[in-house]
Structure 1
Amino acid sequence: MAEFPAYPLARDPEHPLDPPPGYRELRASASPTRVRTWDGSTPWLITRYDDARHALVDRRLTMDVTSPGFPHTSPSSLLRSRGAVFFPSRPEERYAAARAIVIKEFTPRRMAELRPYVQRVADQKIDALLAGPRPADLIEAFALPFAIEVICEFLGLPLAGRDRLHELSRVLGSRTAPAEQVTSALSEMAAYFRALVADPGDGLMGRIVRAHVETGELSEEDAAADIQGLFFTGHGPTAYMIAMGVVALLRHPEQIEVLTGTYDESVHTTAVQELLRYITVSHNARQRAATDDIEIGGTLIRRGEGVLIQIDSANRDETAFPDPDHLDLLRTPSRRHLALGLGVHHCTGHTLAGIELDIAYTTLFRRLPDLRLAVDITEVPFKFDENLVGAHALPMTWGPDLRAAR
């Protein structure tokens, strides 16, 4: 039996913001290539940018978790597929119907109306940060509460219990959590969101329930799974993207002025898109199954075979992005990255995410111009066992160096 690389490939602890170095080798030699996942299956791994774009838009590659050959990258992924699933993972017809319901809530106009609220939340969280002790964990003190409060307000979820919801979300996003822990988290999350759907308040959840569940167009189970999915994808990636973006900017301090100078919407949009490309916070591959024979990158992928589209590798492809390992907030064109997907599976909340990231970075560095790591970067406890690039804690400080004063 051929020996295939074990998936996921190992990251380099000395370069925590970079994709595993093995992807660079695969891009140069063999993409797509077979890899071996935790359960012994051998899906195709796509690492090149052009191949990834092809795979993301080809309708013969499906996200339907019930499709034969669908590749699960962890025990958690498999267990999550056995109950009610978030709408992108449903069969095509059911996915299209659910997306049509949800996408109406994410119009650019509605997102723009949220901007003053998002700014107020950012300022409130920074006020609390400044009133607290130094050093502070930027994730717990700012990034997480900011991201959670914004998505809870938009969805119409109560803030009570948000820490527990995040804890459960981390279990579901873990690559190593025991099956019984994942099963328990799935059960608790499902019960929580079913109860909310049965008695909805205002916000997106209430509008969906009244317009689509009460009319029989959408089941309570699917509605609960969709609201849970929007919370899951709408807070964790944003929070860790804020935190890791701050780390990236501190390592490229010459770039910070792009965000703190005179405001220019187009410049800020470009800057946020570049940070999304550079970090690609969701570093688990996009999972697909082939519903028909398809050729990608000169390789024949047969019906019923699994495909993993490695977005962080594609976003560092030298053939698509000159000097890809350098952060350039003025890089153009900025929207060629694949961090938020492409085609019919482009991230539903991409506009809201862009607003949150722009406000978070700009407000942090304007109000705390001397923001800095409180420890050497080698001492930051980065995470390597979850589907998101992040850290267990991000100790930060600002203001005068009190140690030097003594």
Structure 2
Amino acid sequence: MSDSYPKPRDLRRPLDPPADYKRLQREAPVCPVKIWDGSTPWLITRHADACEALADPRLCGDFTHPGFPHTSPASKARRARLLPFAFRPEAEYRPQRAMLLHEFTSRKMEAWRPAIQRTVDEAINAMLAGPRPIDLMAAFALPVAIRVICDVLGMPREDAEHLHVLSRTVGSRTAPKEAVERALDALDGFFHRLVATNVRAPGDTLVGRVVAEQVLPGKLSEPDAAAMFQLLFHAGHGPSAYMFGMGVVALLLHPDQLDRFRAMEDPREISAAIQELLRFVTVSHSARQRVALEDVTLGGQHIRAGEGVLVQLSAANRDETVFPEPDRLDLQREPRPNLAMGHGMHLCTGRALALIQLEVVFRTLFRRIPTLRLAVPVEDIPFKQDENILGAHELPVTW
């Protein structure tokens, strides 16, 4: 009999993956699990197997494949749509991703640091001028993440909060199919209009440059471009915002590590500390979904062509064979590759931007508000249970 998936979190330990994943990691690191529609994909919980799976081109992220393991009705509802490149066969994924890589180089993203710093400072200024306690998610984390991705893409900020609400519906594991369809219609419409505007007059923005370089010469269709920008907005603000919030929770719950972080000056040490926060928190609550195009052997298990695979990043990042004492936050841990932003060809396209934001946010927030603290006991924080990402519906803080 298969284990059920996903496993429930223990809200007494809100930053830890479900304990059942650790059990499976020891006893059955590659095993079948039963998901909402009755199908039984393979769940991977061990770091080495996860790396192997994410790097294997025989395991594909094609949403339309009959064996693809949709982990919710919302996921399945997207199958009938024109999908962004991340959910296409490798032959379509690779060239579209390549169209973006030169826009997200470390050098280009580093040039955004002063603007990111201004956005963070503006949000903190507004916080300091207002009443206490506040909801850090609504007052800081979400506005900062949304404004940054809008600025980087070249999208108007005034539309962003509505787009975020629509994105949450699409990312929900419990939203009715009709609500997901309405949200997808609205998102599709917005990004099609954004592309059409830039086709008429390409701006000097990331969207404008991709339209000028790829759409106008016929290398990329307008619908494909709209799907691409929708993915960049969705993936470029939600994970960052919730990582801001959960990273703050992690540091406040580990004051010794927060003191270490405040004392850091060496950029390499700061970078390693950010990586440890990403490993420890891992906001990707749901597994990376794949389907086997050919027979594959992983962790000693034979996976047949057409069977689904779920790669649980949060479990892999707590693998004790790679990270000693994995359930301990240690900002001076010896650096080892974690999977919070993926691996191989599916490494997060916007990784450089995300890392700069995390560094600026945590450094600035705790420097400017040194007495920042939770305004309620951690067990009273309403952590998300119904979405594909780890986060809090509200995060009350004061100082």
> Per-residue deviation at 1:81?
2.2
Asked if the contact 2:57–2:90 (Cα under 8 Å) also holds between the matched residues in 1, the reply is no
SS of 2:243's partner is helix
Cα offsets for 1:237-285 (capped at 9, x unmatched):
0000000000000011111133322522101110110011001001110
2:312 to 310, 313, 318: 310
Query: Is the 1:147–1:236 contact (alpha carbons within 8 Å) kept by the matching residues of 2?
Result: yes
Pairing of 1:308-347 with structure 2 (within 5 A): 308-334=310-336, 336-347=337-348
Give the counterpart of 2:61 among 50, 60, 63: 63
Aligned to 1:352: 353
Matched to 2:42, the amino acid is W
Tell whether 2:139 aligns with 1:152.
no
Q: Secondary structure at the match of 2:279?
A: helix
Q: Which residue of 1 aligns with 2:107?
A: 109
Deviates more, 1:258-267 or 1:43-52: 258-267
* Distance (whole Å) between structure 1 residues aligned to residue 65 and residue 117 of structure 2: 42
Which amino acid in 1 is paired with 2:230? Answer: Q
* Per-residue CA distance 1:119-174 (angstroms, 9 max, x = gap): 11111110011011100000010001101111000000001121111100100110
- 1:24 maps onto 2:22 in alignment: yes
SS of equivalent residue, structure 2 residue 291: strand
State which of 196, 199, 219 in structure 1 corresponds to 2:197.
199
Other structure's SS at 1:295 match? strand
Give the aligned partner of residue 162 of structure 2.
164
Aligned residue number for residue 230 of structure 2: 228
Letter in 1 for 2:370: P
CA drift at 1:379: 0.8
Query: Which amino acid in the other structure matches residue 334 of structure 2?
Result: T
Partner of 2:34: 36
C-alpha deviation, 1:117, in angstroms? 1.0
Partner of residue 397, structure 1:
398
Secondary structure in 2 matching 1:81: helix
- Listed one character per residue, the Cα deviations across residues 177-230 of structure 1 (whole Å, up to 9, x for unaligned) are 000000000000000010011003441111111111111110111100110000
Q: How does 1:1-400 map to 2 (within 5 A)?
A: 3-200=1-198, 201-334=203-336, 336-398=337-399
Counterpart amino acid of residue 88 in structure 1: A
Code of the aligned partner of 1:73: T
Q: Distance in 1 between matches of 2:217 and 2:154?
A: 20
Percentage identity across paired residues of the two chains:
54
Which amino acid letter does the alignment assign opposite residue 43 of structure 2? L
Query: Secondary structure at the residue paired with 1:34?
Result: strand
Aligned mates of 1:180, 1:260 — CA distance in 2 = 47
Contact 2:146–2:161 (Cα < 8 Å) also in 1: no
Q: 1:355-377: CA deviations, max 9, x gaps?
A: 00010001000011110001111
Q: In structure 1, the residue corresponding to 2:220 is in which secondary structure?
A: coil
Q: What secondary structure, in the 3-state scheme, does the structure 2 residue paired with 1:308 have?
A: strand
Secondary structure of the residue that 2:305 maps to in structure 1? coil
Q: Which amino acid aligns with 1:327?
A: L
Aligned partners of 1:258 and 1:267 also within 8 Å:
no
Return 194-203 or 324-333, whichever deviates more.
194-203
User: Matched residue of 1:287: which SS?
Assistant: strand
Indicate conservation of the 8 Å contact 1:138/1:243, yes or no: yes
CA displacement 1:41-75 (0-9 Å, x = unmatched): 10000011111111111111011122341110001
Q: Which runs of 5+ in 1 are unaligned?
A: 399-406
Letter in 2 for 1:267: E
Number of residues of Structure 1 aligned to a counterpart in Structure 2: 395
CA distance in 2, matches of 1:392, 1:281: 14
The residue number in structure 2 matching 1:401 is none
Look up the SS of the partner of 2:158 in the other structure: coil
CA RMSD of aligned residues (A): 0.9
Q: 1:305-326: CA deviations, max 9, x gaps?
A: 0000000000011111100000
Determine helix, strand or coil for the equivalent of 1:189: helix
- TM-score using structure 2 length: 0.97
Contact 1:173 1:386 in 2 (8 A): yes
Task: Provide the rounded CA distance (Å) in 2 between the counterparts of 1:216 and 1:70.
Answer: 30
